[in-house]
Amino acid sequence: MAVDVMVAAYGTKALDSIFAAVVFVIVAVVGLVVAKVVAKIIRKLSSLAKVEHAIKKRDLDKALLGFSLTDVVAVLAEVYIVLLALGVAGNAVNSTLLSDWAGAATTYLGSAVQGIVLLVVGLFVAEYISQRIKNSGILAANLIGMAVEVFIAYNALVLALPSLFPQADTALLKDSFSLLLMALAAALALALGIGFGLGMKDAVAAILKRNSDAIEMAIFSSAKKKARKRRRA
């Protein structure tokens, strides 16, 4: 009799486990399918709106280091939906560990999205301003453009880091960036000095060439005056 009860109990537990596993798999698969569909819709809408074309037209396609804005948004949406599905699956099978982990991951992702938005906007702004400076034709345009791009992108990273990694200490990054700014300022000053010097050399040479006759006459006239004064003395 006791054996029958034990077998029945084990059978019930086995059935419960199988049922829980089936429910978990179904919810997880549904969540994954929904995530894929949403990501596909995002990419389709982006294509219809010509988002990437507009970005490329403004020479901003390199701002995200090879990643496209559409892919970033689609992947974030996909991961978020999958995490939600795992949380639902965890609750369905009474798995506190899984549901708590999925909840924590979802909360972190919400915070990380804020940091990613800051970083993406910063990279786009940095690339846009840098391109405008490089195309302006001013002295040392490439160096100035690069320095401005690094400055904006680095500040965006420092602002985004607490959202991406809540425990991260940005003090070291700020100190390192101060040293980097000093080095860039020194390099920029040197480049401007050299460029200004070379530019002045060409300008002086052109002035001398245009006024060589007048300069020779002035020198000759000055020499004659000095000679007359010596004779009178």
Sorted by where each begins, the domain ranges of the chain are 2-168, 174-233
Q: Which amino acid is at 26?
A: I
Contact 51, 20 (CB under 8 A): no
pLDDT at 73: 93
Distances (CA, A) of 103 to 10, 36, 98, 180: 32, 21, 8, 40
Residue 122 Rama label (left phi>0; alpha psi -120 to 50; beta): alpha
Distances (CA, A) of 184 to 33, 96, 198: 49, 52, 21
Helix (H, G, I), strand (E, B) or coil at 141: helix
User: At residue 181, does pLDDT exceed 80?
Assistant: no
User: At residue 171, does pLDDT exceed 70?
Assistant: no
Q: What CA–CA distance (Å, rounded) separates 90 from 23?
A: 10
Distances (CA, A) of 75 to 63, 112, 140, 214: 18, 13, 39, 73
What mean pLDDT is predicted for residues 202-210? 55
Q: Which amino acid is at 42?
A: I
User: Which range among 2-11, 122-131, 217-226 has the greatest average pLDDT?
Assistant: 122-131
What mean pLDDT is predicted for residues 70-77? 93
pLDDT at 93: 83
**For residue 34, what pLDDT band results from cuts at 50, 70 and 90?**
very high
Output the pTM of the full model. Answer: 0.66
What mean pLDDT is predicted for residues 118-131? 89
Q: What CA–CA distance (Å, rounded) separates 7 from 10?
A: 5
What mean pLDDT is predicted for residues 169-183? 62
pLDDT at 20: 77
**For residue 172, what pLDDT band results from cuts at 50, 70 and 90?**
low
State both tokens at 69.
């804005």
**For residue 11, what pLDDT band results from cuts at 50, 70 and 90?**
low
Between these two residues, 67 and 15, which has the higher pLDDT value?
Answer: 67
pLDDT at 96: 87
Least Cα distance to 84 among 42, 35, 22 occurs for: 35
What mean pLDDT value characterizes the chain? 77
What mean pLDDT is predicted for residues 121-147? 85
User: At residue 90, does pLDDT exceed 90?
Assistant: no
Q: How far is CA 211 from the centre of its chain?
A: 53
What mean pLDDT is predicted for residues 126-133? 88
pLDDT at 212: 56
Contact 183, 150 (CB under 8 A): no
User: At residue 185, does pLDDT exceed 90?
Assistant: no
Neighbours of 149 (CB within 10 A): 21
Q: What CA–CA distance (Å, rounded) separates 150 from 182?
A: 13
Contact 124, 67 (CB under 8 A): no
**For residue 48, what pLDDT band results from cuts at 50, 70 and 90?**
very high
User: At residue 109, does pLDDT exceed 70?
Assistant: yes
